């Protein structure tokens, strides 16, 4: 996308610094408040797309935009099933606006691994809180398919259960992806 290798390296460095700042702030608010505010994710998504547009013109704009769209799309179904919150979806979109489509997919996969480990730990620690949880989700998914309805399950369906702070998993997965990429380790 950028012809001059020195400029490409500086662009990558700047993107990583901005992205790590976003992930640190999102992790902190998710940990403290169990939410990731729009005031954090939406300006970050605009900044990611704008940064790439400034660096590479229209190609950069679409690179950031497709990254954002894929990031949002990857967590949309889990959001509909109340597996993640809307802030998590918007955070993954913001991550995509910085990383672009291929890298956000890789970061998503690593984040899913961290999220799965995190969920297993929470389930093991709070086993009684999750009785019937998976049966409810499967039932809701079947009902959505039968009625062709795509409305998210309300929080009343999951009240009383521990909430997973998936922003932490996104931060760990994305940071791991950035470190692997910096050392030339390909994930896919």
For 25, the token pair is 């702030």
What pLDDT is stored for residue 54 in this prediction? 93
Show me where the domains of the chain are located.
Answer: 5-117+164-182
On average, the pLDDT of the chain sits at 86
For 121-160, write each residue's pLDDT tens digit: 988 887 776 666 667 767 777 877 788 776 655 544 455 5
Confidence (pTM) = 0.82
**Torsion angle of the four alpha carbons 64, 67, 72, 73, in this order, in degrees rounded to the nearest 10:** 140
More confident residue, 16 or 126: 16
More confident residue, 159 or 178: 178
SS (H, E, C) the chain: CCCCHHHHHHHHHHHHHHHHHHHHHHHHHHHHHCCCCHHHHHHHHHHHHHHHHHHHHHHHHHHHHHHHHHHHHHHHHHHHCCCCCHHHHHHHHHHHHHHCHHHHHHHHHHHHHHHHHHHHHHHHHCHHHHCCHHHHHHHHHHHHHHHCCCCCCCHHHCCCCCCCCHHHHHHHHHHHHHHHHHCCCCCC
Between the ranges 5-14, 68-77, 80-89, where is the mean pLDDT highest?
68-77
What pLDDT is stored for residue 141 in this prediction? 74
Whole-number Å distance between alpha carbons of 64 and 49: 4
């Amino acid at each position: 996308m950028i012809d001059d290798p020195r400029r490409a390296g500086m662009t990558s460095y700047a993107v990583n610094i901005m992205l790590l700042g976003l992930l640190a702030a999102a992790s902190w608010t998710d940990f403290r408040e169990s939410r990731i505010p729009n005031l954090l994710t939406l300006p970050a998504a605009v900044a990611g797309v704008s940064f790439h547009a400034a660096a590479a013109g229209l190609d950069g704009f679409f690179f950031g935009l497709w990254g954002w769209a894929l990031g949002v799309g990857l967590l949309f179904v889990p959001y509909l099933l109340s597996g993640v919150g809307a802030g998590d979806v918007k955070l993954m979109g913001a991550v995509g606006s910085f990383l672009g489509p291929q890298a956000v997919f890789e970061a998503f996969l690593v984040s899913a691994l961290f999220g799965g480990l995190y969920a297993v730990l929470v389930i093991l620690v709070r086993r009684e809180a999750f009785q019937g949880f998976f049966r409810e989700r499967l039932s809701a998914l079947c009902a959505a398919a039968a009625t062709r309805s795509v409305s998210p399950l309300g929080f009343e369906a999951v009240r009383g259960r521990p909430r997973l702070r998936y922003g932490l998993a996104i931060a760990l997965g994305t940071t791991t992806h950035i470190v692997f990429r910096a050392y030339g380790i390909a994930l896919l």
